[in-house]
Chains A and B, each alone.
Chain A
Amino acid sequence: MTAEPTTPEHPAKPARRFALLSNRAGAVFLTPAGLLVALFVIIPFFWVIFVSFTNRTLLGRTALNPEFVGLANYFALFDPSNFFQRGQFGFSLILTTQFVLASALIGQALLGLLLAWLIQTVPPWIKRLTETFVIAAWILPEVVIGFAWFAFLDRDQGTLNAILGSVGLPKGDFLLQQPFWVIVVFNTWRGAAFSMMLFNSAFSSIPPSYFQAADVAGASSWQKFKDIALPLIRGHVVTDLILITMWTFNTFTPFLLTNGGPSYRTELLSIYNYRVAFRDFEFGKGAAVGVIIMLINLAFALIYLAIGRKKRV
């Protein structure tokens, strides 16, 4: 009875009790961050939407006197007569979808999952070595790896062709002949580390006794993976898929390898957006592309948040 006041509504309202600051102090401390967010996120957001309704450019007559063109930029992007042509918005959109499917979902997630599963059983030093290499691919500066891959794939002086040549295989002109697969492999290599680390920690959280019991029952590795590990890490898989889909959708790094070429064959949406806005200087049209990319990202983010909320419940 006497103990009651010390633990009043403990389970019901924990939030109030652990306030670090008074409401007012909290608001004051939040203000600078809030202002920065407003300045660099919210205002540009609405500015981009506004610009996307104009024919504003950086050079030429429409730079000083842009006109309000309504949805003309959007209609131009979705013009059915050239939607699928290389170098147009539709082509980039489809290319980006294929790129996400091939390099993010199949490449990074599957490879990461496989690596994470395989290093569960190997001796610790092999595990550490593998992790080091995979993570190195992830943390190296983009410009450095861009050049490294360029040197690796070059037709005349590239390392890959030197290796192929030395074992008697025909040399390839990868950057010109298979540019799409080059950036798919590149992005897989680059990003598998995140999935691997995420799945690695997920697998480590499964009590070893589950697998020991399965071993006793004579389960194969595939059965253990399919029936024990996978169901238990489902939440991690969903998180991983959404995050890497979003990242891959927005990635710009393949530009360092191919410049979006040859003939726009690797012009992902982010690169297309860059070209329209900052090489052709068509700010209005570029802004419209930016708005569409923002909407797609917003959709990803909402799905991610919804799943996150469901998991907590």
Chain B
Amino acid sequence: MSNRLRALAFGLVGATAMAGPAFAVDLEITCRCVIGGVNSATAEWIQNSVIPAFEAANPDTKVTLNQFGGEDAQLTQQLALDFSTGAGPDVTAFDGFLIPSFVEGGLLKPLNEVAGPEVDDWSGWAALSEGSRALMIYEDQYYGIPLGTDVRMLYTRKDMLTEAGIDAETWQPTSWADILDAARAIKKVKPDSFPIQLNAGVAMGEATTMQGYWLALLGTGETVLDENGKWIVGSQGILDTLNLYKTIYVDEQLGDARAQLLADGRNRSFANFRDGVTALLFEGDYFYRSVTPEGSEFAVPDRDKVMGWVKIPAEEPGKGIRGQDFVTISGGTGFVLNPATDTPKEAWALLSFMNEPARLEAFQAIQPRITARTDVAIPNSPFLTESSQELLPITTARPNDPDYNAVSAEIQRMTESVVSGELSPEDAMAQYRDAVIRIVGEDNTVSLL
């Protein structure tokens, strides 16, 4: 054999060896989670609890966890591009609001279409609450298994409120004016502080829409859609919301406008709260359970004494959505199957395995949360028990619409142009109207002005 042929032969042997599976089945699972970093508990749970148990039960299978450390929007981007080319992980964490736009784009398939009839036979469906199941349903089909839901509230730093002469234990704002007054009082005694954080801007992505815009808009009695399912592109509610942003960030500098514009602004907003720069922060319950616990980057020192929460008031009492005095909104995450997975049965086996009560209880031991399953108890966490009892009954959900994701991006742009001082609320709303008409067509929009 000549040298060249020999090299070729060795190369082929090598390539074959590399391609041959070490295990009968290789499964990949992705989440926006890093041990010791973002969503550390989720990563720990999958790595140290789900994978060993699943591999023990399925000896031929090897499961790898991809710990994705980037932003939510970057993971969405990667998944969208991966799924469109038949690449990507077999099982991945997924934000429920993205399901319609992925499904309409042909990037997700119903679970039973991917993995077969055993999906419908799974015992877990009956144990999922109806509300949480809806998070992963689009047009009557399941696309994933929900992990849990969340609610939004206004976090407070009691030490800063007390310093401004407010009784932090009993303070419950009942209007936007109450929040602004408290913020002004804090700004007065601490001129360097930025008392309010209401997310805005493009850099924060969906966090802007979900932890900012919605919380104000619902307080005006509106949502982004009217009762006929048309997108509202001009209304007093939008203007009031944008004016609230303007008051906070431009007119009175009650909030840290820089943090809304910087690429790592969300982390800055967390750091501001940790460092006692921000006293009133609009966030979801995961801010308590996964951002601020002891040992994490944004841990609030002496948390149980310093940190409190109140319900988010409507603009004025009774003016909120459905005539409510207080508003909140819920989203939810879960895990979905890649429609292009080579091993759909095994991928489904992993997905359903991790959502069995035993595995979810192991997760609750690492980090308590509001679970989707009714047969998994919320452990003894007064914070979660109270917040879910008070807020779940009044909550709202995002529209289950394939255009929502694109419209949400326009909402982020609209708020950014206001908080950067570039456009007036009226001009920003006009720009939003044009952009939404481009996305959904003029027939699907409505102006209430």
Which residues of A approach B to under 8 Å, CB–CB?
57-61, 63-64, 76, 81-82, 85-87, 155, 173, 175-176, 259, 261-263, 278-281
Interface digits, B82-121 against A, CB 8 Å rule (1 contact, 0 not)? Answer: 0010000000000000100110111100000000000000
Indicate if the CB atoms of A63 and B105 lie closer than 8 Å: yes
Q: Can you name 25 A-B pairs with beta carbons within 8 Å?
A: A58-B105, A59-B80, A59-B101, A59-B105, A60-B402, A60-B403, A60-B405, A61-B104, A61-B402, A63-B104, A63-B106, A64-B104, A64-B105, A76-B438, A82-B431, A86-B417, A86-B422, A175-B262, A259-B203, A261-B202, A261-B203, A261-B261, A263-B416, A278-B77, A281-B80
Residue of A nearest to B409 (CB): A280
Q: Besides the contacts A60-B104, A82-B431, what 17 more A-B pairs have beta carbons closer than 8 Å? A: A57-B105, A58-B81, A59-B102, A59-B405, A59-B406, A60-B402, A64-B104, A64-B106, A86-B417, A176-B258, A176-B262, A259-B203, A261-B263, A262-B261, A262-B420, A263-B420, A280-B406
Task: Kindly provide the distance from the CB of A169 to the nearest chain B CB, expressed in whole angstroms.
Answer: 20
Chain A residues positioned under 8 Å from B80 (CB to CB): 58-59, 281
Chain B residues positioned under 8 Å from A86 (CB to CB): 417, 422
Indicate if the CB atoms of B405 and A263 lie closer than 8 Å: no
Known: A76-B438, A263-B420. A87 touches B413 (CB 8 A): yes
Task: Kindly provide the distance from the CB of B72 to the nearest chain A CB, expressed in whole angstroms.
Answer: 12
Chain A residues positioned under 8 Å from B53 (CB to CB): none
Task: Kindly provide the distance from the CB of B177 to the nearest chain A CB, expressed in whole angstroms.
Answer: 29
Chain B residues positioned under 8 Å from A263 (CB to CB): 261, 416-417, 420, 422
Interface digits, B385-425 against A, CB 8 Å rule (1 contact, 0 not)? Answer: 00000000000000000110110010001001100101000
Chain B residues positioned under 8 Å from A64 (CB to CB): 104-106
Chain B residues positioned under 8 Å from A87 (CB to CB): 413
Chain A residues positioned under 8 Å from B202 (CB to CB): 261
Chain A residues positioned under 8 Å from B438 (CB to CB): 76
Chain A residues positioned under 8 Å from B101 (CB to CB): 59-60
Q: How far is the CA of A299 from the CA of B84 in the complex (A)?
A: 34
Interface digits, B256-285 against A, CB 8 Å rule (1 contact, 0 not)? Answer: 001001110000000000000000000000
Task: Kindly provide the distance from the CB of A260 to the nearest chain B CB, expressed in whole angstroms.
Answer: 9
Task: Kindly provide the distance from the CB of A273 to the nearest chain B CB, expressed in whole angstroms.
Answer: 15
Q: How far is the CA of A278 from the CA of B258 in the complex (A)?
A: 26
Residue of B nearest to A263 (CB): B420
Chain A residues positioned under 8 Å from B107 (CB to CB): 58-59, 63
Task: Kindly provide the distance from the CB of A65 to the nearest chain B CB, expressed in whole angstroms.
Answer: 9
Question: Is B181 in the interface zone, CB < 8 Å from A?
Answer: no
Q: How far is the CA of A256 from the CA of B258 in the complex (A)?
A: 18
